[in-house]
Structure 1
Amino acid sequence: MIEVAGLTKVYGPVRAVDDLSFAVRPGRVTGFLGPNGAGKSTTMRLVLGLDAPTAGAATVGGRRYRELDRPLTRVGALLDAKWVHPNRSARGHLRWLAATNGIPRTRVDECLGLVGLSDVGGKRAGGFSLGMSQRLGLAAALLGDPGVLMFDEPVNGLDPEGIVWVRTFMKSLAAQGRTVFVSSHLLSEMALTADDVVIVGRGRLVWHGAMADFIAQHSDHSVRVRSPRADELGRELARRGIGVAPAGPPGVLTVTGVPTDTVGDVAAELGIPLHELAGATASLEEAFMRLTSGAVEYHGGSVA
């Protein structure tokens, strides 16, 4: 488990992380989301002991990272896919890491195989594409078979097949009981991957909980109704205080604030036939934009 308590990091006049507290549980994929400049990468660096907090603490399994013995066997991380020395081979890089933590050399080829790099293990990392570098970073994170894994934008540079593979891989790691903490700007991908979500804005916690609960609480819910007696149905719904509006084509309504069951029950009471009754699917993107609109540091302008 990762626990962050009152974590604060100040750089001069900037509070990059501001009194942040949350926990990342084992057996689940937790997405770490926020606008650019929200403090996500800084928070991960603080958890890994790469930066010292101004206040508060971040622990892994109840201990600070610098207190861990053979840390690669406890925590695996991918923060920067291009940090590898360009003249080292992929296999040489992993062997060097393994030696620093007493990890058997046999584990190196196992990890190269896990991420699909067996055939290029002898090639220099400097010649790798961004997608291949991401895979090498994942191999390094897995090297010590740790119980906690942290990934910062792990699908950057991957093709669609690679993105699906990373998604499946992270979910399988969580299913093994590991703690998986991953940041991403691909909201549609996070909606498919994460069980829980931590959202930050301007260094502060904005929301923390189950992904499904977040989407349900911060999205508009609407129902599309098509009926030959749509006007009559609309008047009755409005009389009951339910939001209703024409949806464009004649005979089609958009109903807000109630589930499909409620609309269907009202139509049944009046004996009104329905040709279509469908609830709109709420999206993570919609919920995220709604909640973080006030925490965006930089806004783009419109094109004239």
Structure 2
Amino acid sequence: MIEASGLTKRYGNTVAVNNLSFAVAAGKVTGFLGPNGAGKSTTMRMILGLDNPTSGQVVIGGKRYHELKDPLRTVGALLDAKWVHPNRSARAHLSWMAKSNRIPTSRVEEVLDTVGLTSVADKRAGGFSLGMSQRLGIAAALLGDPEVLLFDEPVNGLDPEGILWIRKFMHRLAEEGRTVFVSSHLLSEMALTASDLIVIGKGQLIAQSTTEEFVARAAENTVKVRSPQLPALREQLVRASAQVTDSGNALIVSGMDSDKIGEIAASANLVLHELSPQTGSLEQAFMQITGDSVEYHTGLEAEAQQAFQPTAR
């Protein structure tokens, strides 16, 4: 488990992280989201002891990172896929990391095989594509078979097959009881990968919840209804105080769940061809909830923010 308490980081007059507290539980994939400049990278660096907090603390299993003995056996991390010395081979890079933390050299071959780099293990890392570098970074994170894993933008440069692989792999790691903490700008991918979310903006906590709860908090859930008797059904729903909008050959109903709509239709002897709840997306929820925390808006971003605001009916 990762626990942050009152975590604050200042650079001169700039507050990058401001009194941030959260907990990342084991056995789940937890997404770490926020607009650019929200303080995500600074927070992850403080978790790993690469930056010292101005105040507050963050612990991993009750210990600060520098208190861990052989830390790669406890925590694995991918923050920058290109930090590897360009003249080292993938095998050599992983081998010296293994020796530094008393990890058996046999583990090097295991992780190379896991990430699909065995065939290029003796090639210079400087010649790797971004996708191959990402795989090498993931291999390094897995090297010590750690209980806690941190990934910053792990799918950058991966092809669709690679993205699907890392998504399933993260789920498997969580199912094994590990703590998996993932930062990403790809909200559609986070919606498929993370069961829990921690969302920050301007260095402060905005939300910590399940992904489902986060989307439901922002989105106005509606129900799509199709019937060969739409005018009569519309009249019944409006009479019952539902908000109804016409949408082609269907009605979009808000302020009433599908069970109640079905009961109203049945009591009026009206036929239903479709009764399907419509939920918002993680992208819509993120833009709506973090809108006030974005440092800079382009014209297109402003239009998107406006488009995702709920409209009165």
- Match for residue 299 of structure 2 among 291, 298, 301: 301
Would you say 1:139 and 2:139 are equivalent positions? yes
SS at match of 2:212: helix
Contact 1:199 1:208 in 2 (8 A): yes
| Alpha-carbon distance between aligned partners in 1 of 2:148 and 2:71, rounded to the nearest angstrom | 10
Report the alpha carbon displacement of residue 223 of structure 1 after superposing the two structures with TM: 1.2
Report the alpha carbon displacement of residue 40 of structure 1 after superposing the two structures with TM: 0.7
TM-score between both structures, scaled by the size of structure 1: 0.96
Would you say 1:15 and 2:15 are equivalent positions? yes
Report the alpha carbon displacement of residue 193 of structure 1 after superposing the two structures with TM: 0.9
Q: 1:215-250: CA deviations, max 9, x gaps?
A: 222212111112232222222222222111111x2x
2:284 maps to what in 1? Answer: 286
Superposed CA RMSD:
1.3
SS at match of 2:261: helix
After the TM superposition, which segments of 4 or more aligned residues of structure 1 sit over 6 Å from their partners? none
Residue identity opposite 2:276 in structure 1: A
| Alpha-carbon distance between aligned partners in 2 of 1:17 and 1:79, rounded to the nearest angstrom | 18
2:124 maps to what in 1? Answer: 124
1:25-36 alignment to 2 at 5 Å? 25-36=25-36
| Alpha-carbon distance between aligned partners in 2 of 1:239 and 1:187, rounded to the nearest angstrom | 39
Q: How many residue pairs were aligned? A: 301
| Alpha-carbon distance between aligned partners in 2 of 1:152 and 1:193, rounded to the nearest angstrom | 14
Contact 2:216 2:279 in 1 (8 A): no
Contact 2:219 2:279 in 1 (8 A): no
Contact 1:244 1:255 in 2 (8 A): yes
Report the alpha carbon displacement of residue 92 of structure 1 after superposing the two structures with TM: 0.5
- Match for residue 270 of structure 2 among 263, 269, 272: 272
2:70 maps to what in 1? Answer: 70
1:1-304 alignment to 2 at 5 Å? 1-247=1-247, 249=248, 251-302=249-300
SS at match of 1:18: strand
TM-score between both structures, scaled by the size of structure 2: 0.93
| Alpha-carbon distance between aligned partners in 2 of 1:228 and 1:99, rounded to the nearest angstrom | 72
SS at match of 2:144: coil
| Alpha-carbon distance between aligned partners in 2 of 1:276 and 1:196, rounded to the nearest angstrom | 31
Q: 1:123-148: CA deviations, max 9, x gaps?
A: 00000000000000000001111100
SS at match of 1:76: strand
| Alpha-carbon distance between aligned partners in 2 of 1:228 and 1:123, rounded to the nearest angstrom | 66
Ranges in structure 1 where 5+ consecutive residues have no aligned partner: none
Residue identity opposite 2:41 in structure 1: S
Report the alpha carbon displacement of residue 194 of structure 1 after superposing the two structures with TM: 0.9
Q: 1:245-301: CA deviations, max 9, x gaps?
A: 111x2x521101322222111111111112222221332112111211111112111
| Alpha-carbon distance between aligned partners in 2 of 1:256 and 1:18, rounded to the nearest angstrom | 38
Ranges in structure 2 where 5+ consecutive residues have no aligned partner: 302-313
| Alpha-carbon distance between aligned partners in 1 of 2:273 and 2:144, rounded to the nearest angstrom | 58
| Alpha-carbon distance between aligned partners in 2 of 1:159 and 1:275, rounded to the nearest angstrom | 40
Report the alpha carbon displacement of residue 25 of structure 1 after superposing the two structures with TM: 0.6
| Alpha-carbon distance between aligned partners in 1 of 2:281 and 2:150, rounded to the nearest angstrom | 25
